Amino acid sequence: MRMPKGGRLFLATCLGSLFVLVLYFQSITKPEPGVKTGSSPGKIRRSPLQALYNGDELDLLAAQRSLQGRRELLEQACLSHTRKRQVLSPEDLKHLIVDDKHSLIYCYVPKVACTNWKRVLMVLTSDGRYTDPLSIPANEAHVAGNLRTLSEFSVPEINQRLRSYLKFIFVREPFERLVSAYRNKFTRSYNTAFHKRYGTKIIRRHRPDPKPEALEKGNDVTFREFVQYLVDPRTQREEPFNEHWERVHSLCHPCLIHYDVVGKYETLEPDSQAVLRLAGVEGMLQFPTSGKSTRTDGNMAARFFKHISPFYQKKLFNVYRMDFLLFNYSTPEYLRT
């Protein structure tokens, strides 16, 4: 099989009885033609992908240079740390949200501002129904069916979008994301579904002599018990990790699908504005800023890990090792491995 110019064939993705050929582009030598805008008949606008790779209009802003550097680091990490060629299924594409109107594909990662990104995409795809992201309730942003995912399209449609749309992802320091997930799902009284679904199992398995009330409600899981659950080999043998603590590389497959923009939670606002600028909508809406006063950061994560033994710290780091490597996060100083 001859390789397409400008790309390297990384995998054949089996969907049903057909195969999807996914190209991991190292460079875009000839972006597809621009698309017609809906507001001005006949007028051609550059696609976000063209704006990124032919980025004269961005004048190589510092933000863009940073995003380019992250892409290159990710590509190098993928070449250094991955060997197997994986076959993807429709289930593997369910986190990739598609905006056909603006030629965007976003892989959402829970606990990395995905609620606000879903709100933004609901505004962009709503044809005027929504105008302000923050007017959309958080629970509505997560309703299945409000946004289309790549898994819903046919094989040719998937290929066309992967080839011509701007694909972006936002990532976060893995252990800060993990602590954020624990705090949200296991220390909030309203998350009874998570307490019942996961808390009761964690307590049953990892707490000596649990009280009947704890076994019934599952609402007082400690962070140590949560860590023990994550590193227990039985956990992933029985079922995949929940998306809130699943590894980013398992949710979004960054070594198989080429992401044009890798945003980071640590630089969320400028990176988000860069994506909106590439999409040509920065004057239409602003990315919502977080009003949280107790955002999970490195200092908070350190306090949680203080009570985790070096043995379990090391085992947990090995579970999330690929996310540290792929997205250029250093081993936290507070680890005693």
Q: Are 277 and 69 in contact (CB under 8 A)?
A: no
Question: What count of other Cβ atoms lies within 10 Å of the Cβ of residue 180?
Answer: 23
Query: At residue 23, does pLDDT exceed 80?
Result: no
Amino acid 318: pLDDT: 97
In tens, the pLDDT along 108-153 reads 999 999 999 999 999 999 988 999 999 999 999 999 899 999 999 9
Mean pLDDT of all residues in 56-64: 56
Amino acid 291: pLDDT: 63
In tens, the pLDDT along 248-293 reads 999 999 999 999 999 999 999 999 999 999 999 988 899 998 766 6
Q: Are 20 and 157 in contact (CB under 8 A)?
A: no
Amino acid 17: pLDDT: 32
In tens, the pLDDT along 207-252 reads 999 999 999 999 999 999 999 999 999 998 998 999 999 999 999 9
Q: Are 237 and 243 in contact (CB under 8 A)?
A: no
Query: At residue 333, does pLDDT exceed 60?
Result: yes
* pLDDT tier at 44, thresholds 50, 70, 90: low
DSSP-assigned letter for residue 198: I
Low-confidence winner among 1-5, 33-37, 44-48, 123-127 (lowest mean pLDDT)? 1-5
CA distance 40 to 103: 17
Query: At residue 5, does pLDDT exceed 60?
Result: no
CB within 8 A of 272, min separation 6: which ones?
113, 117, 120, 170, 263, 287
Amino acid 47: pLDDT: 85
